Amino acid sequence: MPAPQTDATPAQPAGRPLPPETLRGSYRPITEVGTPVLYRRCAKVTEFGQELAQLIDDMFFTMHVAQGVGLAANQIGVDLQCFVYDCPGEDGQRHIGHICNPVMDIQPPAEPAAGKEGCLSVPGAGLHELPRAARTVVRGQDKDGNAITLEGQGLLARCFQHETDHLNGTLYIDHLTPAQSSRALQEMAANRQAVSAQREARARTLRD
């Protein structure tokens, strides 16, 4: 999921350090809308070890290359129930982490909160209005197989919902009106090549 203001806004303010996971990772191209792995429920994570840890590091690096606040495994073509995030919460604090096999609980109040949303797999599209639950709890496992619980409000709750949707085969444009979805795809067609070039350049910069 892109950062909240525009697709060009970094996940963290300038001067804030990248998390150590990012510095251990490598860039993997992001799958785009239309790729089959984005449209099916991902396989459950059953193997916890170095391969999974490296995947998570690569996801962090790729998320920061794309200037996002969240990224799901199938967005880099990996059919596994795992997502990473580096996202501000309603408390203004920076929240960084990952979760495998997430199960989402929507918390009261159940009324959806207004907000705009985009997707790193729809490169170049602007942000579009999409109501989401204001509070969420996500239960799952960490990279070592330990049970964890994540709580989110505001943008962090939106991020958790967006990434969990990805792992269940749903993109944000599937929640939009037909007119909104069509406009997002038109924006992607016009801008995706420029976004791809920016990501490649940023990957080199972060690695340096």
Kindly report, residue by residue over 164-205, the tens digit of the pLDDT: 999 999 999 999 999 999 999 999 999 999 999 999 999 998
Question: Mean pLDDT, the chain, as a whole number?
Answer: 91
Between CA 46 and CA 189 the distance in angstroms is 37
Beta bridge partners of 135: 153
Q: Report yes or no: 112 and 132 within 8 Å, Cβ to Cβ.
A: yes
- Which phi and psi angles does 169 have, rounded to 5°? 85, 20
Q: Report yes or no: 166 and 38 within 8 Å, Cβ to Cβ.
A: yes
Asked whether residue 89 carries a pLDDT value surpassing 90, the answer given is: no
The stretch 95-108 carries a mean pLDDT of: 92
Please, which contacts does 203-208 make with residues 24 or more away whose CB atoms are closer than 8 Å?
203/27, 203/61, 203/65, 206/18, 206/22, 206/27, 206/61, 206/64, 206/65, 207/27
Is 129 an active-site residue?
A: no
Kindly report, residue by residue over 128-143, the tens digit of the pLDDT: 999 999 999 999 999 9
Look up residue 118 and give its two tokens: 């985009």
Give residue 16's pLDDT: 66
Confidence of residue 112 (pLDDT cuts 50, 70, 90): confident
Q: Which of 51, 129, 151, 163 is catalytic?
A: 163
- Which phi and psi angles does 138 have, rounded to 5°? -120, 130
Beta bridge partners of 200: none
Between CA 17 and CA 35 the distance in angstroms is 33
